[in-house]
Amino acid sequence: MNTVIRIGTRGSKLALWQAHHVAELIKASGCRTEIVPIETRGDKILDVSIAKIGSKGVFTEEIEQQLLDGSIDIAVHSAKDLSSTIHDELELIAFTEREVPNDVVVTLKKNFSLKNEGIVIGTSSTRRVAFLKHFYPQAEVVSIRGNLQTRIEKLKNGACDALILAYAGMHRMGYDELVSDKIETSYFVPPVGQGSIAIECHKKLSYDKKEIVERWVNHVPTELCIRTERAFLKTLEGGCSIPSFGYAWLEGPTVTLKAGIISLDGKKIVKVKRSAPAEEGKDLGKSIATEVLANGGAEILNDIRKVVKA
């Protein structure tokens, strides 16, 4: 097969791992691939929190531009980095099988616990900061940004006692031995899409290339769950810097979604958990978002938008 699919990706080690993973899945079709690393705004600005530079497209905008001008065929993103809405001419066509979605505690200290007094926790996520303030108010939280290797180096240099990160990235980079605790999703609910890789393309991408990606990369149960979560996020109109959360899972013919929003100071949480037939996932996501907004979520969101660029 002479077809070549050009894959656009961020240039970090984790992003390149994800691109190579997708390329490996496509390879089974007999189609060749070419990986095109692209630097994004989020990769360039490391001394300011995501909340301050604005979350919309911070890790995706430059990559999406190359989809629009035809320089690449598909873009590989961490599904959690995607904005709640994407460009009218682009679409999401595949989601890889989801890795364990949990947040994890990463530390070099023995007998470390989030319950300990006087601890310093590093994270760049407004959701994780808010959850830490809510569940572990005795902890001091510091902003730690950069790629995974940079953050771990900062941990080793004593910038903090522990990091809170996604299990998926730690596992994919082979850092499992640094994970001291997997935080239950029952209270540290993951952000929408965490653990899966999303594939984006131009709506006018050739049928042949789309079919290859959909057939060889997409994991249908994961897709159903993440489209449920994204329907919630879109209705909420939340970006990456809004401390919203949404995690859907399948049990037989039923999809369950737990989703909501937490205030920046961790004092107010609005959370809804409901189930529906799997084929009604998107409607479930929309209705849960509407319920969250009606039960105090809109007020939390307005307060957040006064201090955070969404």
The C-alpha atoms of residue 13 and residue 172 are separated, in whole angstroms, by: 10
DSSP designation for 48 = S
CA 137 to chain CA centroid, Å, is 25
Contact 272, 139 (CB under 8 A): no
The C-alpha atoms of residue 182 and residue 50 are separated, in whole angstroms, by: 24
75 CB-near residues (< 8 Å, 6+ apart): 7, 8, 9, 60, 63, 64, 66, 67, 199, 200, 201
Please confirm, yes or no, whether 81 is among the known catalytic residues. Answer: yes
At position 74, the amino acid (one-letter code) is I
Neighbours of 225 (CB within 10 A): 28
What distances in angstroms separate CA 62 from CA 44, 94, 292, one per listed residue? Answer: 12, 20, 32
Q: 220-236 and 281-292 helices cross at what angle (nearest 10)?
A: 30
Nearest-Å Rg of the Cα atoms of the chain is 19
Of the residues 81, 103, 161, 283, which is catalytic? Answer: 81
The C-alpha atoms of residue 24 and residue 179 are separated, in whole angstroms, by: 27
84 CB-near residues (< 8 Å, 6+ apart): 230, 233, 234, 236, 237, 238, 239
Active-site residue numbers? 81
